[in-house]
Amino acid sequence: MAQEIWWASPSFWRKTAIWVTGFSFVVLIFLTFDTVDQITAGSKSGRVKAYSVINNRIDYVFDAERNMQVPVIGPEEPLFGKVLTEDEAKALVSMGKLTTQSKNCMNCHTLLGNGSYYAPDLTKSWLDQSWGSKEAREQSMVEFLMDPTDKLHNVLGRKMPNLGITEEEARATVAFLKWMSAIDTNGFPANFKPIDQSDPVAALVPTTVELAPEAGAEPTQQ
Ligand code: HEC
């Protein structure tokens, strides 16, 4: 009778299967805990900020090491001028999230990249330059959500239909959008240009401006 080769024996493959399954199981448990931490609001990974982040300015700066734009939480800048506790902020953001679900915004938009490509991604719409100024933004967003039909907000050339959103729902949706814009999404979506959020005081600091010489003006003798 021919000698059985060790790697061809059923017992070798049975043991291998048991070890591989066991090892994968342990890795999956580790990854599950790691992911839960990464996606929980206010967890220590810091990737998804606590709901009360809506009390602050949310800005983006370029991180040379990561080679991408990363969120920076700035000074206090409460939404609708009212500082909320963590619980109040959570209730408001949750209501906004429920509104986006019940009105099925994903039918046209993407949120964090999930959804449809008919309308712009909403992940950082809070920072979209199309809102004009940061002072007017909150009210513009509420008004836009309540009746977007007569507004052409950006260069898409498509209009958003009126979804019958109440003022309360619109305000909560704005809170949800502000909170979402603070999520560290590893640079997604790429190449977005945030709204100018510099303080008017900072803007008053004189800067050196290179003026083009007036057309036809004589060059000044030095
Ligand atoms: C039937 C398709 C459709 C649905 C559903 C829809 N939208 Fe829109 N939305 C659009 C289109 C199209 C635009 C671009 C409109 C424009 O440029 O004027 C838009 C623009 C926007 C903008 C401005 C985006 C930016 O930063 O430029 C926001 C914010 C927005 N939608 C939020 C929502 C929310 C929140 C919901 C769900 C409650 C929703 N939309 C549901 C089609 C839709």
Written as six digits, the tokens of 46 are 């810091």
Query: For 102-156, what is each residue's pLDDT tens digit?
Result: 999 999 999 999 999 999 999 999 999 888 888 899 999 999 999 998 777 777 7
Atom of ligand 1 nearest to the CA of 154: 17
In-domain check, residue 194: no
Regarding the beta carbon of 153 and ligand 1, being less than 6 Å apart is answered yes
**CATH number of domain containing 110:** 1.10.760.10
Q: What is the pTM of this model?
A: 0.84
**Cα(116)–Cα(167) distance, integer angstroms:** 25
Interval 158-193: pLDDT, tens: 889 999 999 999 999 999 999 999 999 999 998 778
108, 119 Cβ separation under 8 angstroms: yes
Domains of the chain: total: 1
Q: Which range marks the domain in which residue 117 is found?
A: 51-189
Looking at residue 50, its pLDDT comes to 97
Is residue 31 domain-resident? no
- Among 160, 163, 173, 181, which is best to mutate for testing ligand 1, by the most ligand atoms less than 8 A from CB? 160
Pocket lining: 156 vs ligand 1, CB cutoff 6 Å: yes
Closest CA to 59 of 140, 134, 141: 134
**Residue 32 falls within a domain, yes or no?**
no
Query: Is 171 part of any domain?
Result: yes
Alpha-carbon distance of 130 to 169, in angstroms, equals 21
Domain assignment present for residue 9? The answer is no
Q: Where are the alpha helices (DSSP H) in 40-115?
A: 86-102
